A = this chain, B = another copy of it.
Amino acid sequence: MDFKIAKERFEELLIKLRALEYASATIYWDSATGAPKKGAGERAKTLGVLSGEVHNVMTCDDMVQCLKLLDENKDKLDKITYATLNKIKREYDQMAKIPKDEFAQYSELRSLAGQVWEDAKEKSDFTLFEPYLEKIFKYQRKFVEYRGYDGNPYNVLLDDYEPGMNVDILDDFFNSLREKIVPLVKRIKESGKKIRTDFTNRSFNVEKQKEFSKYLLDILGFDFEAGMFKESVHPFTLNLNPYDVRLTSHFTKNILLSGIYGTIHECGHALYEQDIDKDLVGSSVATGVSMGIHESQSRAYENVIGRNINFCGFIYPKLKELFTDKLQDVTLKEFYEGVNEVKPSLIRIEADELTYSLHIMVRYEIEKKLINKEIEVKDLPEIWNKKMNEYLGVSPDNDADGVLQDVHWSDGLIGYFPSYALGNAYASQFVNAMKKDINFNNALKEGNFKAIKDWLTEKIHKYGSTKMPNDILKDVTGEGLNPKCFIEYLKDKYEKIYNLK
């Protein structure tokens, strides 16, 4: 095979890969938005066959040869092919360096572990899940060895979700949070200020909630002709390509805010995908570059924009119009404070903007130590509860509300959690940079969300995966991950709300 043929063959293999991934994603979407219950078994089998095919294509001899030849001729590649090569090389490394039979055994283990986790969570009994989690970490440690690493072995896993990330940067980041945010949370607790939230649990008609979410998507600039909005048990965003980006939310009658902020969060993900440069469509890099950058977009929309006083001021009249009788005794100030209440709690997905990253810190420290064999899986419940108490001042009295709360580990997603916290930090850094170019607060006040979306598109979205996370960060903000910026944003905002200054 010569370079020219390798380039063509590489493209052929990628076309097949993308079709298989498109198919799996559509089946997943279908499954999460109403596919019949009894079809679950055959659906799972089909997804298994398709992912086996992905594995076959990714590790076939032609792929190995193509990757080698293209890598040797990097300088001859156009920008898109170069970025694609780097992306596929990473994915290849994640699969191909692991012996095929172990990879298959591990896939099977994950599938089993998912079921056991569900059961263990329902029964709130970690000991049921423990042997499976033990094995998952054992495999991951082994895989890390196969794959090789620089410095800390946990770096390999961090890098899977946030290319370029490592424990040195993250230790520094979380140390700063520990030092500055943990005390802030305590001061808020001790301030005695009571924020009114009673109104958020009144009975809000679900159809009207949905209507309000559609209104939000509309004003924020979601393109309904290049996407869909539906309901599912957990909100998520799914991108087939920039012309077809779907998102869901979930509505509960007496939990007003979860539907609203679930929608805004997913909208951040969806805008990222919809606004990728259309020249990239039909390539493998027409998608967001990393979990961290993705989460920065959803968090920027959910928190920095969505929980800003000016944004609240813009949307509150419409909300009040829809729910006149439910909200007539609630002022804008009360609404704003209500959506920003700080309340250290046990469950990550229900956490407020301030304490959220502390939940992630608990998981980060545990994952890092487990991969480095400094702690053991069997001791997790104790360690978990201790850390929760230390950072958040609350501690679960059962495993379901503690170490068993998240699905991630059962699915082998180790190194994934930190990207949530990175997203929060990146978001504050991006908005800081944005403020130098546009009048952010004025844009929110006037509902000029196009200005914000256009800025994000130009600086971040349009690149898809052609630019690495850290390059985006540096080009946009002039620096790398900067915990100070995030901490200042939080201090500034919450000291005001809780009258701590």
Residue A42 lies at the interface, judged by CB distance under 8 Å to chain B: yes
Flag if A42 contacts B282 (CB, 8 Å): yes
Q: Is A214 an interface residue (CB 8 A)?
A: no
Contact of A244 among B15, B29, B39 (CB under 8 A): B39
Inter-subunit contact B281/A37 (CB<8 Å)? no
Q: How far is the CB of A190 from chain B (nearest CB, A)?
A: 50
Stretch of A224-232, A361-369, A428-436, A482-490 with 4 or more beta carbons under 8 angstroms from chain B: A224-232
Interface residues in A8-31 by Cβ distance below 8 A to B read 15-16, 18-20, 22-24, 26-27, 29-30
For residue A260, give the distance in angstroms from its CB to the closest CB of chain B. 23
Stretch among A46-54, A142-150, A334-342 lining the B interface: A46-54
Task: For A401, list chain B residues within 8 Å (CB).
Answer: none
- Cβ-defined contact, A241 with B39, below 8 A: yes
In the complex, are the beta carbons of A36 and B228 less than 8 A apart? yes
Q: Is A87 an interface residue (CB 8 A)?
A: no
Contact A49 B244 (CB under 8 A): no
A36 touches B225 (CB 8 A): yes
Determine if A103 is an interface residue (Cβ-Cβ < 8 Å).
Answer: no
Contact with B along A210-250 (1 / 0, CB 8 A): 00000000000001111110000000000011011010000
Partner of A228, one of B26, B27, B29, B35: B35
Q: How far is B281's CA from A49's CA once the two chains are assembled, in angstroms?
A: 16
Contact present for A226 and B36 (CB under 8 Å): yes
A34 lies within 8 A of chain B by Cβ: yes
A387-426 vs B, CB cutoff 8 Å, 1 = contact: the mask equals: 0000000000000000000000000000000000000000
Given A26-B26, A30-B29, A50-B19, A42:B228 Cβ within 8 A:
no
A38 within 8 Å of B (CB atoms): yes
Is A478 part of the binding interface, using a Cβ–Cβ cutoff of 8 Å? Answer: no
Residues in chain B near residue A281, CB distance under 8 A: 42
Q: How far is the CA of A5 from the CA of B453 in the complex (A)?
A: 58
Within 8 Å CB of A41, what residues of B?
Answer: 243
**CB within 8 A of A224: which of B27, B36, B228, B282?**
B36
Is A43 close to B, CB under 8 A? yes
What copy number does this chain have within its complex?
Answer: 2
For A22, list chain B residues within 8 Å (CB): 27, 42, 46
A-side interface size class: 35 or more
Question: Across the interface, do A241 and B36 meet the contact criterion of CB distance under 8 Å?
Answer: no
| Distance from A364 Cβ to chain B, minimum over Cβ atoms (Å) | 37
Q: Which residues of B have CB within 8 Å of A244?
A: 35-36, 38-39, 42-43
Residues of B close to A30: CB separation below 8 A: 26, 29-30
Interface pair A227/B36, CB less than 8 Å apart: yes
Q: A29-B30, A50-B23 are in contact. Are A226 and B16 (CB under 8 A)?
A: no
Contact with B along A416-459 (1 / 0, CB 8 A): 00000000000000000000000000000000000000000000
Q: How far is the CB of A33 from chain B (nearest CB, A)?
A: 10
Is A39 in contact with B240, judged by CB distance below 8 angstroms? yes
What residues of B have a CB within 8 angstroms of the CB of A50 in the complex?
Answer: 19, 23
Take A38-B223, A39-B244 as given contacts and tell me if A46 and B29 are in contact as well, using a CB distance cutoff of 8 Å: no
Contact B38 A225 (CB under 8 A): yes
Q: Which of B27, B223, B282 has a CB less than 8 Å from the CB of A26?
A: B27
A24 to B26: give the CA distance in the assembly, Å. 10
> Chain B nearest CB: distance from A155 CB in Å?
35
Taking the closest CB of chain B, its distance from the CB of A361, in whole angstroms, is 39
With A23-B27, A26-B23, A53-B19 known as contacts, the answer to whether A243 contacts B38 (CB < 8 A) is: yes
Instruction: State whether A49 touches B19 (Cβ < 8 A).
Output: yes
Q: Which residue of B lies closest to A17 (CB)?
A: B49
Assess the B23–A46 pair: CB atoms within 8 A. yes
Complex Cα–Cα for A34 and B19 (A): 20
Give min CB distance, A267 to chain B, whole Å.
Answer: 15
Q: Give the nearest-CB partner of A43 in chain B.
A: B244
Complex: A392 Cα to B244 Cα, angstroms: 46
Q: Which residues of B contact A27 (CB under 8 A)?
A: 22-23, 26
CB pair A39–B226 under 8 Å, yes or no, is yes
Given contacts A15-B49, A39-B241, 18 further A-B contacts (CB under 8 A): A16-B53, A18-B46, A19-B49, A19-B53, A20-B23, A23-B26, A23-B27, A23-B46, A30-B30, A36-B228, A36-B244, A37-B226, A38-B244, A39-B240, A39-B243, A42-B281, A42-B282, A43-B240
Give me 8 A-to-B residue pairs in the complex whose CB atoms sit less than 8 angstroms apart, sorted by A's number: A16-B49, A19-B50, A23-B27, A35-B228, A36-B228, A36-B243, A38-B225, A42-B241
Which positions in A face B, CB cutoff 8 Å?
Answer: 15-16, 18-20, 22-24, 26-27, 29-30, 34-39, 41-43, 45-46, 49-50, 53, 223-228, 240-241, 243-244, 246, 281-282
